[in-house]
Structures are given as C-alpha cells and as structure tokens.
Amino acid sequence: MVKRRLLSSLLAFFSLLAASHAVDLGTELSDHSPEASHQSELSYTDAVVLGLVEGLTEYLPVSSTGHLILANAFLGLNGDTPMLNSDGMPILVTTDDGLKRPYTIGEAAYAYTIVIQAGAIVAVVYLYWKTILGIVLGCIGRDPNGRKLAINLIAAFIPAAVIGLLLDDWIEEKLGDNITAVAGALIVGAIVMLVVEKWRKHGQKEAIDAHSGPELHDLPIPKAVMIGFFQCFAMWPGTSRSMSTIVGGYIAGLSPARAAEFSFLLGLITLSAASGYKFVSDGGNMLAALQVGPVLVGCIVAFVSATLAVKWLVGYLSKHGLAVFAWYRIALAIAVFYFIA
C-alpha cells in the first residue's frame, strides 16, 4: 500500500509539474531568441531538481531524457543565451563549416543531463556490486556464469554503440530539445507497453513469476542482441531506454524482475559510454560554462534517488507490471500537447 502511495505521489508530482508550467513550454518552443526569459547559468536549485528527475526516472520506464528536456524547459535552461567563461568572455565552439559561434545555456544544460547520469550509474554499481564482481571475475576466467552474463551484456550493447555513434549528432540537432517529439514518444511508448503487457499476461503466463524464465547468464546471445536493438529505440527522446529494454526482455522470455535487472546492468554500460562520450566531446565547454559545485550536487542527488527507484522498481514490476507507467506517460503527454497547442 505504501509503495502504491509512493508511486501515486511520484506520478502526481511530474504531472502537476508539466501541467503548471506547460504554458511556458509552449512559449519556449516558439521563442528561442537570446532576449527570451531564460537563465544564463545552472544554479544549485537547478542541479537538485535535475538530479532528482534523473535519479527517479532513469530506471523507471517513463523516459529520463524526456523528463529532463521538460525540466530544462521548465527551469529556463533551454535557451540560446551565450555562456561566459570565468573572464566574462563568451565561450565559442567551432561549427562544421569552421565558423565560431557562442556556446549556449541550452547546449550546456543538455550536455549536463547526460553527464549527470553518472549518479545513476553509481547507484547500479552500489546495488549490484556482487553481480558486477561476478562479471569481472568471469572476464578473467574465474566465474563461468559471470563470463556468460558479460558476453550477453556486450552483445546487447553493440547495436546501440554502433547506431548511437552514427546518429548522435543528428539526434541532438533534430530532437535534442524538441518537446513535441518527446510528448509523441511518450504516447507511442505507452501504447507499446500496454500491448506487450497484455501479451505477457495472457500469452506468456509462465513468465509472470519473479523467478521464472531463464537466468540472465543463460539468456541466448541472439535474444540479448534483440534486447540491444530494442534499446536503440530509446535514442528518440521520450521513448525511455528502460522501457525499451524491459519490453525487449519480456519478448525474450525474461520475467519482469529479471528484465528490469538486465536493463539496469545494460544501462550501466550504455549510460557510462554515453556520459563518457559526451564529457569527452563537450565536457570542456560544459565545465567552462558551469560551476563544478552544481554538477557534483546533481550527481549526488541522482545517485540517492536512483538507488531508491531501482530498489523499488523490481518488486513493483513483479506484482503489477508496466501498465501504470504507460497510463502516466499518456497523461503527461496529453498535458504537454494541450498546453503547447
């Protein structure tokens, strides 16, 4: 009962957040001029809000990226205000055609939403350190099950690694802060979740039990690769990496609990790669534009909230499935569409 109330409170918080500020979101979609009322720096309050949103939504099937894009718009961090370095001079970046242009608060905030995933990554390491230790021992030939799980995770990671590198710049340019695209992805993902959940309960009754289906290390490699391709759908902001991989796990025959655990462990690799890539490619500009303090605070808040969310989600999925998250996604998307229209 407490868990249901916790979920209801969480969903109500995000729904009210979207509804109460959606007028601002609609305005920001059509007004990206430097004169618009956007912030020019990331405050500690912003860091706490973004860290909380990241931690609570990274492993829930509701799209952390989508929520962070909405949160950035709500906080006024998605504008074109030029960022200044410590000397008060504009930070410049080089475009593809060799020209220089100012680095904006929107770009810095978007990069931050990816780097802040470090807090969620550490949460999985903290909760699943025994499994991760088994994987490490397996890689040096001392744990056969750990070695098989490592192979499955690598096989599942490869599709996103290849497709992500090919499409990263295009996705950021076309969909990076597109609120309409996020809302559309929330609805599409919700429909997929409802269909798959109905199929699981009526056509795959043997997979409902938390301990049924194959162990993660016994998952056939082709099915691990299939889950990896499902993860690629999450490159559309608003789809949700967690939702995509959990749905892929369902179709692969995993129980809800094991599908969630595979999603967490796969996310450990995928999020580490994405955060590392973004930090290498944009970290210098981001750190020049943002203070180190808020960045660290956001990561710490993300760690604490992600730890709580992960521990709760496994038990909830085993008992109730994905349906409540699907309906929440639809409600949030409708609220966004209504106010930006």
Instruction: Give 33-46 pLDDT, tens digit per residue.
Output: 333 345 557 889 99
Residue 10 has pLDDT above 60, yes or no: no
The packing angle between helices 129-139 and 117-127, to 10°, is: 80
Q: What is the pLDDT of residue 177?
A: 62
User: CB 162: neighbour CB atoms within 10 A?
Assistant: 12
- Whether the CB-CB separation of 323 and 189 falls below 8 Å is answered with no
Identify the three-state secondary structure at position 219: coil
User: DSSP letter string over 84-131?
Assistant: B-TTSPBPEEE-TTS-EEEPBHHHHHHHHHHHTHHHHHHHHHHHTHHH
- Which pTM was predicted? 0.78
CA distance 237 to 114: 12
- Whether the CB-CB separation of 279 and 239 falls below 8 Å is answered with no
- Whether the CB-CB separation of 224 and 157 falls below 8 Å is answered with no
Most trustworthy range by pLDDT among 65-69, 135-139, 197-201: 135-139
> What are residue 93's phi and psi, to 5 degrees?
-125, 155
Confidence band of 18 (pLDDT split at 50, 70, 90):
very low
Amino acid at 325: F
Listed in sequence order, the residues at least 6 apart from 29 whose beta carbon sits closer than 8 Å to its beta carbon are 179, 180, 340
CA distance 316 to 313: 5
Most trustworthy range by pLDDT among 152-156, 165-169, 251-255: 152-156
Instruction: Give 62-78 pLDDT, tens digit per residue.
Output: 988 888 888 888 888 87
Identify the three-state secondary structure at position 149: helix
CA distance 197 to 324: 11
CA 117 to chain centre: 8
Q: What is the pLDDT of residue 264?
A: 94
